[in-house]
Amino acid sequence: MKLINNLIIQIIPFLPKFFVRIVASPYIAGISNNEMLKNVQKLNDKGYKVAIDILGEHVETENEASEVTNRYISIYDEITKRNLSANISIKLTHIGQDLGIHIVRNNLTRLIQAAEKNNNFLRLDMENVPYTSETIKLYKEMFEDYDQIGIVIQAYLHRSLDDIKSLSNEKFNVRICKGIYVEDPELVFNDYNDIRQNFIQLVKEAINNGSYVGIATHDEFLIDNLYAWLLQNNIPKDQFEFQVLHGVPMKKKLKKLMNEGNTVRVYLPFGDNWYDYSVRRLKENPKMAGYIIKNLFLSIFRIK
């Protein structure tokens, strides 16, 4: 099965875009704002909270960065207007980080103002290592003006425990994930179990320092291990949440967590850049490709 999944991954870039969209559609919440917002409502109706992300990164012009910022601002207004349970998660390179600190700072300030106006929250996604320190610097700057802002820390980086220790306190809101970027091997844990153990350590360190933690993983070993620890230590359910990517097949686990009073937030990507994102996600996890293809063909046979 592994061989078949990897074969699917190899041929995906050569397939027509319409087919890739069919294969990847469970992971994409639409192209337009309206499509995405309808999906947010559907998820809210099922009990999930949502983190919204416009697909894209590394814009090339100041105008592009401004357009993305404006789109996020309009989404904040729509969240309020429709009374949705959702916040926003952004990549700083999508609002101009590559174009200069003054451009990204200006756009980030505008987003903070929109979040505050709508009494909402903003998450700064963490990208690869060249951006890590500057992302943390900008987070600290913005936190001084508005404390409903959070960040992401990646468990595969050696530096992450030090970052958690220096940042975490009772007002710190962090999403902890494994990390997906290809980095200098000297900067990261290269063993899968080492990444898992660091993930667990990061969550416990942040929780013990009073921080709010988004436990962002589809690894059921990590979910079960950490959930048992949270229960054993009587950690209040308003100090953590579980976060998953839209479309990943683990509904039974999520339903069980929600039935036990836990918050589950779905990370909801959408937008015009769905193709590059879809190919990347499928390459990252070949098992997803096999699962999707299997269900696609089952659906076709049922239709017939």
Q: Which domains does the chain have, with CATH numbers?
A: 1-28+274-304 (no CATH), 33-270 (3.20.20.220)
Smallest Cα–Cα separation from 145: which of 126, 165, 170, 117? 117
For residue 123, indicate whether it is catalytic: no
Q: Residue-wise pLDDT tens for the chain (304 aa)?
A: 556 555 655 666 666 666 566 666 677 888 899 999 999 999 999 999 999 999 999 999 999 999 999 999 999 999 999 999 999 999 999 999 999 999 999 999 999 999 999 999 999 999 999 999 999 999 999 999 999 999 999 999 999 999 999 999 999 999 999 998 888 999 999 999 999 999 999 999 999 999 999 999 999 999 999 999 999 999 999 999 999 999 888 879 999 999 999 999 999 999 987 666 666 656 655 555 555 555 444 443 443 3
Output the pTM of the full model.
0.87
For residue 175, indicate whether it is catalytic: yes
Q: Are 79 and 50 in contact (CB under 8 A)?
A: no
Choosing from 105, 125, 163, 265, the catalytic residue is 125
Choosing from 105, 123, 175, 265, the catalytic residue is 175
